[in-house]
Structures are given as structure tokens and as C-alpha cells.
Amino acid sequence: MKLTRSEPLEFLFKDLEVKIESNTILDRVSGVVHNGEILAVMGPSGSGKTTMLNTIAGRTTAQSGEITLNQQKLTKLLRQRMCYVLQEDLFFSKLTLWETLYFAAMIHLPDKMPRSEKLSRIDQIIDALDLEDCKNTAIGDQAQRGLSGGEKKRASIACQLLTDPDIMLLDEPTSGLDSSTAYTLMQLLKKYTAESNKAIIVTIHQPASQIFHMFTRLLLLAKGQVAYFGAAEKTLDFFEGVGLMCEPHYNPADFILETVKKDEATLQTILKAAENKRFTEDWPLELRWNTNDRNKTSGADSPSMLYEFEEDNSEPQNGFIPGGNTHDVTKSACVAINYTKRDLEDGVDVECVKTEGFSPENMSRWPTCFWTQYKMLNWRTFKQSRGRILSKYAISNALVLAIVVGLLWFQMERSHKTIRDRMGMIFFTVIFWGLSPVFDGITSFPSERPIILKERAAGSYRLSAYYLAKMTSELPLVIILPSVATTIIYWMAGMKGVAEFFATMGIIILNALNGQGIGLLIGAWIWNMQLALTFTSTSMLTMLLLGGFYTTQFPPWLFWARYVSIFSHPFSAVCILEFSDTPPIPCANVTVTEYPRCGQNGTEFITAEMLLIDSGTKLPMYLYVLALLIFTIMFRIVGYWVLRFRTKPH
């Protein structure tokens, strides 16, 4: 794999402390990793391994501590030269492996890089991770068979390797894999660090002995504290030093975890020995405590700063600055993981660099421009949504219902006797194509939301680009079925002419887009699916009752309610198209029950205008269409701001 070899670097984190409410998750955790090394973070469940990775990646706020990186500006590095592979493999299931990598390459690699070079890098990574045989296989999910667990994990790593990162953070990469697949995966990572001179920090729960011996350094956590840090091969020597012996040919990883979980007295002995080691030459110089640190209390002096930086006037050694000296701005960057309001809202992992003369506003906030992001998101969303919106079940449902409606109202007589029946057909059509997109919009978010959160936390693209792409990519898909169904119903039922047909078609499509906007809003607002469906059913049934078909006589104090219903406006607009040229109906041919106006003030004929007013349609058609258009735009705008707030990284 022709990736660049990293320059010498030292990634250091010292005395990280993370608290959630009153619980201390990390308590003065320290470590360091260099090029060509794998730092394994081990510990029992709940020991703080994932929290530590999240803190390093800037996704969890720390109360105190220090993180330094030499010879590079950390903001650019964390955004472009560091990658984070989550424990859970999150992908769009309809895309193939190659398409997934293609999207990642186009969205993460800079615009100035030629497309041919991006495609070449995809091929190199596929070959390096042995994914050639499955590159045209769909990712898959529970409903669709696709990649295996090991292939998905390698796919997750491949997406991150595209950016050629200098430091990789991996959270439980072997979780859910069999021993052989896990060993193969770790071999690939070991080869990657050696050949490309990269650094890897990996959390792992209980590795096999073969995997354990691949680690360069080991950081052992227990109850959020450092139980051991140093060379992995010297771990057992440390335990022997406190009287804890490992049996020959016993898996060191199993022994370590069993020992720290044995009992409280044993754990305290290990933690005390690890703390004493921090003052000795066995502890890395850059992490070493002095005697004044024994009574050290963590915490920043100012609530606006996450980390406390101590002046270190020691001389650089081997190109590095021990202790993270922040005064030499040309050699190191000492950062506090501290978000600005603007960065949080835009979903960027931003680290405020504590170097003189640095301005966060000057950095490149996105790997690609808005147009590239929008274009690629539009491409991906279309491929993913096509199978859902135009599934064989959705197509069958639309066609069957359209044919049934067409048969029930087949070439119905156009007279005063069938006016109410034709209104029923119009109302059903409006209701169906107003409701279907609502539920589709709601159900589309649960599968996409985790991926959006992951990509947004990594600062992959603007939220506005995603939201706009989702609307435009699904636009042609959303209008296909309503158009086909409306065409079948309109001509089978024998409604009016060609001009009215196209106008009706436009109103039904606008009605469907309005429903989609409502679905996107509810899906972004309510993440509990059961609550979302309950809320939608209740609100839509209320809108249906206020739509103007079931009752036209509203109480005087409730006259405004009809105009709130999203179904009232398209129903009234189509009724105007269908009944505006109805010839006058002689009162002699109808009953007073059917048309109460007959006999009042000498009324002898019921005109089309009277007919529409009695059905509740009192405004010009353009006002109903305008109201529908306003609803459509308003729901989308509100949906964007709700999504922006709900997916804001914390």
C-alpha cells in the first residue's frame, strides 16, 4: 500500500481527568505513543477505555489534563491526519464496499487531489486489506445479506486509511470476530504501522496471546486509573515485582485482567505500584511526575480552559519536547480539547491550539468544498433511498390502491348526484399521498442517524450539505409513485380534461413533498420510534378530521382550524379544478336536505361557487396552492434547525 511514511512524532496525553456528573471516569490517565508503535489500552469493562479514546479524539470533554503532539499543528492533524474507527461498524447498507470507499475518498480527500489518484488509493487499500473478493458486495444489514463481520471491520478501517492518517484510534476492532479473523486483522494493522511508520492506539478487551505479543506498549486501566503503562513485553515483570506471578504458557492478557478483577486489595496494590512507578526512571520522561505531584489535584484554574499547562524549560530531545513545552511553537503544538460554540454547531472536532499567534478561524474547517460534499451526499443518498422508496412493496401498494380506486369510481357520471362521491375520491387521494411520505420520512432516519452522528462528529461535511442533498436526491423518487397513481385514478375515474390533469398532478406532488417534509421534521425531532409513530398517528388523524370532507360546519370559535390542516389546502385546490365549471343545478331536481340553500331568498339554482362555498372552499385556488407551498418550505426549514440542534456533538 503506497502510503506516505510519517515523520517522527510523539503523541502524548498526560493526567487526563474526565468526570460525568459526580462520577470520575478517568483519573489522571497518561500515555505516549510514537511512530511504528501500537499502544494497546486494556482493562475490564467499564474501566474507561472508550472514554479515553473519545477524549483524545475530542468527542468527550475532559476537566483537566494535557495532550501534546510534536512537529505538527494538532488541529490540522486531528482533522486530517488522525482517524477514529468506532467499535460499531456504521454503513449505508445498500451501497457496495467499493461505493462506500469511493464516497469516503471523495468526501475526505482534498479537492485538489486528482480523481485518478483517489481511485488509485482505493484500489491500493482494497488490495492491502484483502477486500478484493468482496468489493462489489453490498454492505448489507439484518434484512439484506452482505459483508461478514470481519469484512465490515476491515471496511471501517479502509474508510479511515484513505486519508493516510499518521495516528489511528481503534475502539475494540476485534469485538465480535472469531480468533482467526481477529488475528488476521491485527496482523494487517501491525504491518501497516511497520511499513508506513504510523502510530496506533487501540482499545481491546481480552486479546489472544498471539495478538498481545504484537503490542509495543500497554496501558492498563482499572476503574479509570492507570494500573500499568510501559512496554507490553515487560508487563509480567511489573506484576512479578508486586508478587503476582503468571503461570508459564498462560495467556498474559487473561492473567492481567483476572488479576485486576481479583479483589480490591490486589487492585489497590497494583494501582499503588503503578503510581510509584511514575516517579522512577522506568516511567517515560515526558510523563514523569516530580515529588510535588504526589499531592497533586487535577483541575484547571479557569472554567474556560480544559487543561492546565505547566511551563517546562527542558531542552528538546531527539526532536521532541518533553512535557509538551508550548513555548517553541515551531516544534510542537499543545492543545486543549475545548470547543467553540460555532465549531460545536457545525459538528467539527476542533482543538483550540495553545500556541502563540494561532487563530482557529484561519484553519481549513472542511476537507472539501460545499459543492463536492453536496454532490457526493446527493449520490449516496439517492442510491440508499432508491431501494426503500421504490421497493417492490411500495410499488405494489401504490398500483393496487390506484387500480382499486379507479375501479370504484370508474367513469363516474358527472352530475349533481355524484358530486359528493367525487369529493370522496379526491379526499382519499390527497390523504394517501400526504400520509405515505410522512411515515417514510420518519422511518428513514433511524438507520441514517447513527451514521450522520458519526460523520458529523468527525467533521466530514456540513450539515446543510447533507440536509439539502437528502431533499433533492429523494425528490425524483418521491414524485414517481404519486404521479403514476394519480394518472391511473384520474383517467379511470373520468375526471376533467388534460389541463386540469396536469394541475391536479402538480398539487398531489406538492402534497407528497409536504408530507415528506413533515416526516423529516418528526424523524429529526423524536428519536424514539414508538413515540414518533404515536405522535404522527394522533396529529395526522386530527389533520384528517379538520380536512373539510367529513364535516364542513365548524363551530364559530374553531373556524381557523381547517386552515391548519395540511390536507385541507390540496383538497380544496383539487375541488376547485374539478367542480369550478359545474353547470347550475336546478333546485327542482334536488332536495333541501342535499342543498339547504334551495328555497332560501328565492334561490332556484345551485351554482358552482355555491357548491364550493358550502363544502368549505371559500378562497381562490392560488391561495390554497400558496399555503401548501409555504407549509412545504416551512417544515423543511424547521426540520433543518431541529436536526442541527439534535445532532450537535457534545
Buried b (16+ CB within 10 A) or exposed e, 199-226: bbbbbbebbbeebbebbbbbbbbbbbbb
User: What's the CA gap between 402 and 493, in Å, rounded?
Assistant: 10
- Residue 550 CB partners (closer than 8 Å, separation 6+): 544
Cα radius of gyration rounded to whole Å, the chain? 32
Please give the pLDDT value at position 638.
92
Strand partners, 252: none
Please give the pLDDT value at position 344.
36
Does residue 284 or residue 303 have the better pLDDT?
A: 284
**Banded pLDDT at 360 (limits 50, 70, 90):** very low
Asked whether residue 299 carries a pLDDT value surpassing 80, the answer given is no
pLDDT digits (tens, 9 = 90+) for 464-480: 999 999 989 988 888 99
Mapped onto helix, strand or coil, the DSSP state of residue 228 is strand
- Residue 521 CB partners (closer than 8 Å, separation 6+): 441, 635, 636, 638, 639, 642
- Quick one: which H or E segment has residue 130? none
Q: Which of 569, 552, 579 is nearest to 621 (CA)?
A: 569
Q: Indicate the DSSP class of residue 138.
A: B
**Banded pLDDT at 300 (limits 50, 70, 90):** very low
Q: How many CB atoms lie within 10 A of CB 458?
A: 24
User: What's the CA gap between 126 and 132, in Å, rounded?
Assistant: 6
DSSP string, 33-49: EETT-EEEEE-STTSSH
Q: Indicate the DSSP class of residue 474.
A: H
Please give the pLDDT value at position 343.
38
- Residue 453 CB partners (closer than 8 Å, separation 6+): 647, 649
pLDDT digits (tens, 9 = 90+) for 570-589: 998 998 888 887 777 777 66
Q: Are 353 and 74 a contacting pair, CB within 8 Å?
A: yes
- Burial-class residue 367 by CB neighbours within 10 Å (0-12, 13-18, 19+): buried
> Would you list the domain boundaries of the chain?
10-89+165-362, 370-646
Asked whether residue 374 carries a pLDDT value surpassing 90, the answer given is yes
User: What's the CA gap between 505 and 174, in Å, rounded?
Assistant: 54
Please give the pLDDT value at position 250.
85
Please give the pLDDT value at position 380.
92
User: What's the CA gap between 528 and 538, in Å, rounded?
Assistant: 15
- Residue 242 CB partners (closer than 8 Å, separation 6+): 269, 270, 273
Does residue 600 or residue 125 have the better pLDDT?
A: 125
Asked whether residue 4 carries a pLDDT value surpassing 70, the answer given is no
- Residue 282's alpha-carbon distances to 220, 236, 286, in angstroms, are 16, 14, 12
The amino acid at 227: A
User: What's the CA gap between 526 and 337, in Å, rounded?
Assistant: 30
| Average pLDDT over every residue of 546-552 | 76
pLDDT digits (tens, 9 = 90+) for 232-274: 888 888 888 888 888 888 888 888 888 888 888 888 888 888 8
User: What's the CA gap between 461 and 463, in Å, rounded?
Assistant: 6
**Banded pLDDT at 548 (limits 50, 70, 90):** confident
Q: Which CATH superfamily is domain 10-89+165-362 in?
A: P-loop containing nucleotide triphosphate hydrolases (3.40.50.300)
Does residue 297 or residue 614 have the better pLDDT?
A: 614
pLDDT digits (tens, 9 = 90+) for 185-241: 888 888 888 888 888 999 988 888 888 888 988 998 888 888 888 888 888 888 888
pLDDT digits (tens, 9 = 90+) for 14-58: 888 888 877 888 888 888 888 888 999 988 888 888 888 888 887
| Average pLDDT over every residue of 55-80 | 69
